Structure 1
Amino acid sequence: MKHTILCKIIIVFIISISNRLIAQITISKPSLGFTQVCASSSFNSYKVTFSFSPAVSLGATNQFQIELSDSSGDFTNSTIIHTSAAGEVTTSPATLTFSLPTTISGEDYQLKIRSTLPAASSSASNAFAAYYKIQDTPFSINNLIETGLYCTGGSYLLTIDNPGGPMNDSPLQYASLTFNWFKVTGPTSSVYIATSPTLLVNQPGTYFAETNYGTCTSNSFSNRVTVSEASSTNVTSSINSSLGNPYCSSQGNTVLSAINGDSYQWFKEGNVIEGATSQMYSTNVPGNYSVTIDLGNCTASASIVLDNGEFVSEIDAPDEQEVEEDQTFIVTVTTDAVSPEFKWFLNNNLITGESSRSYEVSQRGNYKVVIEQNSGCASSKEHVFSVTEPSELFPDVTNIPNVISPNNDNINDTWVLPKDYVSGTNTEVIIINAQGKIVYQTKDYQNNWPTNQIDFTSINPVYYYIITTTNNQTKKGSITIVK
């Protein structure tokens, strides 16, 4: 009897051990379908593959989960970022598709695969960099003023502009973001300075900021600001108008901004504006505005002649058009001017009878079209272009130029790139103005930018470019337009 009972106990124990062995699985190290993650609102889908054994040990309601570490690879406070449906995955190897959190930002994330029935976990995957580009457009610093000043022995504070708006998607609106500051060392080179929302500068130079997306290529970068040490006790600076200059009063007030300082006093036509003692002054009245800025041990002054006659116009012809003999083409003006009037000129002579927005060009020479707006914001603008004999479109140049002079003298009139980036290479060329707006974008660059006339104020305009080759090599820099 005792022998029988002992045999039953042994049998039950063996069955229990067998069941336990059957209920265990081994999950392999995850294999990543990527080397780094640069997610955004337009793309956030990634794959991970893993194996498990034995498949027969999976419970009918088993779920596989993807576990994400923190940015240093620590799983102590890990996050489950994907869970498969119960019983969905039954064969090995398996591939799961997942999305990453919008707050992800770092260089050493890892993944693990977990099962729920039976409970098991893989080893950690290879480390990978991962960023979610929640803001991926150019932004402004220093109120888009291109200069900054500090007194001898002092410093100048560069800040990212906030709050955001239609003209400025400020990255400060997103709490998860950090920012890298750089000092320009050459036309297309720079050196890292610090990671911070602001930068205190005490060395002359040109500075800019980028949203910290690590090794991911990004369009989230600022305009450039040249900071100088004041050479005297009273130096000259500049003023920025938030709506541009000229501006149109029908759009409401424009905000005039000065560089950072300790205190301010604004003037109109040389007269003190009572109570206008802030860094910014809002107005809807054209005129001659100036401001004095206390920088501590020295002062700066700046002025702007504010014009309220703005409207937008452009022509669909490059500054210089090369045509064969007897060839013609049509040039058309696009404008939002109210009831516009058009006047066309050839070699500064009015072309009689031509008053529509389009003109068929049949002769070589220097052309001009004047657009006049006589109601609302009364003002006028002109666009010039020339028609010449054909010449070599893609000369063999070595460097990307950072200065051009579109003055129709046939010397350095357009931005001419090395042959590696022009038509036929499928290289993407993007040009952005100082307000962060894309003004030109193509994958078939013809060495013909600027395609429209550049309006000059007292300061030479600066644009920024991003060149991206088919193998995702990126070059960035600035283009200064001089007369």
Structure 2
Amino acid sequence: MNKTTFVKKSFFVLCFFVLISIQNTKAQIAIGVPNIGFTQACANDSFNTFNVTFSFSPESGLNPTNQFQVELSDATGSFATPTVVATSTAGAITTSPATLSFGLPTNTSGESYRIRIKSTAPVATSSGSSTFAAYYKIQDTPFSINNLIPVATYCAGGSYVLTIDNPGTGLNDSPLNYPSLNFKWYRATGPSTSVFVADGETLTVSQPGTYFVETDYGTCTSDSFSNRVTVSESTSGSTTAIVSSLGNPFCPAGGPTTLTTTEGNSYQWFLNGEAISGATNQTFNTTESGTFSVNIDLGSCSTTATIDLVSEGFTSDLNVNEVNTMEEGDTLYVEVTTSANNPEFQWYLNDILIPDATENTYDATDFGNYKVVINQTTGCIVSEELLFEIEAPEDLFPEVAKIPNMISPNGDGINDTWIIPNDYVSGTNTEVIIMDAYGKVSLKTTDYQNNWPENEINFNSVNPVFYYVITTTDNKTKKGSITIIK
């Protein structure tokens, strides 16, 4: 080989390596530490989008097929087995800095996650970001414990177990349906303060207080929390609470309210001190107002509970009596006074609706049985009925043909007094004398009102007999006896 040929070959080899070196240099990029711009990532099914911004250089080092990936570490910040949570479209990112959006996997739960950025062409990887808390809140709604019963009682020296309901009542979304979740129990120390008590799905309580539980989403705030339960210690003779499902006062238009007390072995409910037959369960449904109480057997002790239950009704009164008398052709003015909200009125005579009678007053002109219905039309929609009666005045001097010899003054309104013909009553100046069997005068008048006996006549087995003497102004006399029967 001559010298010229060797030099030429050496020149071409040198050019090849220079070209390869230039290409390799062009194929290398550096990716800066990702900027996440947040300290915690709290996701749920309605929000799961987070942004990361990163820089790289040189821009010319990217191949047209390059993709950037966002990798998520494990909960300790390790990238030993990273999870790719976002990938850019090939060739979509060509300038620096760039931003990618990513979402959290549903099993994300921890306080020390990191992310990093990786490129595919050329292959390059950034350092990990600063650590951040990240949780996917797979259950993020309130849930129930203790079957939503807000009170519980245990005997002195014992305990009470609070549990998360599964599935619970109604639309309760029990977090126990999600096996990956953990829970933290708290005891309230004030309206908005509390202290941590224990972890777990249940809590054994041996200290009185108000308790609740939250799903453990670390530093992320959440709506995954329970109702509060006030647990008390009982000795025989102590008291606990009754809760009304519709509140107190309650609106009976919503149907019966459910009264619930603490869990026990057996129960007996009372209304105004009287035992309610068959009311021996933990709950009792009612539409009535009054003082409800319950005796509860807790096993080694017993307790009672009481509630003064009030309905959101209203009060109404009439300005007339239940029974009223008036003469034929007269008018009785009737007025309703009510505390009902925006009331409406309906008047009835003998159960027939009176047309156009829609005010709180009514001029009654007919004899009969009246009813007015008051409807409360705003707030609690309830109604109330008031009854009254109008009758003709009693005829104290009815026309009778004969002087009766028997009466039965028992208060039934029939033959209660001695009714004699109008020729001898008030206005005729006739003298009427009534004597007992011993001649003692019981009545002597010239103005008889058909009202004897005015006072009760007591007797046991023998029907007493009285005697009468009626003397008219022209000295005509009627004599006879009056037998008193029951």
TM range (shorter): 0.5 to 0.7
> What residue in structure 1 maps to residue 78 of structure 2?
74
What is the correspondence of 1:26-425 to structure 2 with a 5 Å cutoff? Answer: 26-40=30-44, 43-133=47-137, 139-163=143-167, 171-172=175-176, 177-186=181-190, 188-218=192-222, 220-230=224-234, 232-245=235-248, 255-261=258-264, 263-265=265-267, 267=269, 270-271=275-276, 273=278, 281=283, 283=285, 286=288, 292-303=295-306, 340=343, 372=376, 377-378=382-383
CA distance in 2, matches of 1:18, 1:40: 49
The residue type paired with residue 49 of structure 1 is: T
Cα pair 1:182 1:190 within 8 Å, conserved: yes
Cα pair 1:108 1:127 within 8 Å, conserved: yes
> How much does 1:224 deviate?
3.7
Alignment length, in residue pairs? 326
> How much does 1:30 deviate?
0.9
What TM-score, normalized to structure 1?
0.54
Q: What's the secondary structure of 2:207's corresponding residue? A: coil
CA distance in 2, matches of 1:138, 1:36: 22
CA distance in 2, matches of 1:122, 1:67: 10
> How much does 1:125 deviate?
0.8
> How much does 1:127 deviate?
0.4
Deviations 1:404-459 (A, max 9, x none): xxxxxxxxxxxxxxxxxxxxxxxxxxxxxxxxxxxxxxxxxxxxxxxxxxxxxxxx
Q: What's the secondary structure of 2:60's corresponding residue? A: helix
Structure 1: where are the runs of 5+ without partners? Answer: 312-336, 343-353, 356-369, 381-483
Deviations 1:263-322 (A, max 9, x none): 344646524638x65x5x4747657766554544323343557677689xxxxxxxxxxx
> How much does 1:192 deviate?
1.4
What is the correspondence of 1:1-16 to structure 2 with a 5 Å cutoff? Answer: none
CA distance in 1, matches of 2:259, 2:86: 50
Q: What's the secondary structure of 1:56's corresponding residue? A: helix
> How much does 1:113 deviate?
0.9
CA distance in 2, matches of 1:284, 1:119: 74
CA distance in 2, matches of 1:209, 1:58: 52
> How much does 1:49 deviate?
1.5
Highest CA radius of gyration, 1 or 2?
2
Deviations 1:326-362 (A, max 9, x none): xxxxxxxxxxx998459xxxxxxxxxxx99xxxxxxx
> What residue in structure 1 maps to residue 325 of structure 2?
none
> What residue in structure 2 maps to residue 396 of structure 1?
none
Change (3 A) 1:186 1:85: same
Tell me how large the CA RMSD over aligned residues is: 4.5
CA distance in 2, matches of 1:379, 1:164: 37
> What residue in structure 2 maps to residue 24 of structure 1?
28
Cα pair 1:139 1:171 within 8 Å, conserved: yes
Change (3 A) 1:213 1:65: same
Percent identity, aligned pairs only, is 51
The residue type paired with residue 55 of structure 2 is: S
Cα pair 2:232 2:240 within 8 Å, conserved: no
Single out whichever of 17-26 and 107-116 deviates more from structure 2: 17-26
> How much does 1:90 deviate?
0.8
> How much does 1:126 deviate?
0.6
What TM-score, normalized to structure 2?
0.54
